[in-house]
Chains A and B, each alone.
Chain A
Amino acid sequence: MANFLFWIFSALAIAAALTVVINKNPVYSALSLVVTLFSLASIFVLLEAYFLAALEILVYAGAIMVLFLFVIMLLNLKREETPPPYMKVQVALGIFVAILFIVFAALSLKMGFSDVIAQSVPGTANFGDISQVGKVLFSKYFFPFEVASLLLLVALIGTVYLAKRRLT
């Protein structure tokens, strides 16, 4: 059952991700990205990372994508015009690089992966338990957590400064 659900959600994720890249209209791209994020959240649930699945939907699909859609509508973007002729070379090169990346990564997966799996311990029973995540987050990763809050503050101030209308 888990495998069957995984196939469905991964097919959905890949199709939506391709739509993000191919679609000419930025609004449709943003909505397809939401579909990708939801399928990824479902896959997180299948992997028993329930906390991250909730965060994925709340933070990505809820906050980040709303920001994207808001900016797209604010700027009133239209469809892109027909691409200039040099784009054909660029697109061919881009597809070539992506395929090359897949091939090399698949090769490295095939070569050095089975050892890692053999060494690994099977997942603990309380892997998806939110209290486990919280304990590690507030003990071992306490300093990075505080730095992350500082990062968010800096991003807040920077955004307000950048988006402010210049009076000069």
Chain B
Amino acid sequence: MTLPVTYPIVLSLILFSIGVLGVLTRRNAIIIFMSVELMLNAVNLAFVAFARQFGSVDGQVIVFFVMTLAAAEVAVGLAIIVALFRNKNTLNVDEIHLLKN
């Protein structure tokens, strides 16, 4: 009695799309960041589902690396956000255009 592999894949698809929606429609840098985390988690779910289907441990190891990467990314990203907020006093990504002009 196991889950068919299609169910977790479809769930991962839906979660990834919600993450895309968040990145495209929100203007708050922190919420955009959280949507990126959501997308990473959706991909993790797809990895685990396929690893389960193929009976391979490699997929789990890849998910482990993705989690390490996400931790490093969050630390640096939040430091950038704090530095930006200190200089610009806003987190609206439409008002942050240092590289424009």
Contacts and interface: CB of A to CB of B under 8 A. Distances in A.
A18 interface: yes
Interface of B is mostly: helix
B60 A64 contact: no
Interface residues of B, number: 69
B41 A36 contact: yes
15 contacts: A20-B35, A21-B22, A21-B26, A21-B31, A21-B35, A26-B31, A43-B45, A46-B3, A49-B48, A52-B63, A63-B71, A64-B74, A68-B34, A71-B81, A77-B28
Given A17-B18, A123-B52, 17 more contacts: A17-B19, A20-B18, A20-B35, A21-B22, A33-B37, A43-B45, A49-B51, A49-B63, A52-B48, A52-B63, A56-B44, A80-B28, A98-B18, A99-B17, A102-B14, A135-B57, A152-B71
A148 to B, nearest CB: 5
Contact of B31 (A13, A20, A37, A59): A20
B20 A98 contact: yes
Contact of A158 (B48, B65, B70, B76): B76
Interface of A is mostly: helix
Interface of B: 1-3, 5-11, 13-22, 24-28, 30-31, 33-35, 37-38, 41, 44-45, 48-49, 51-55, 57-58, 60-61, 63-65, 67-76, 78-83, 85, 91-92, 94
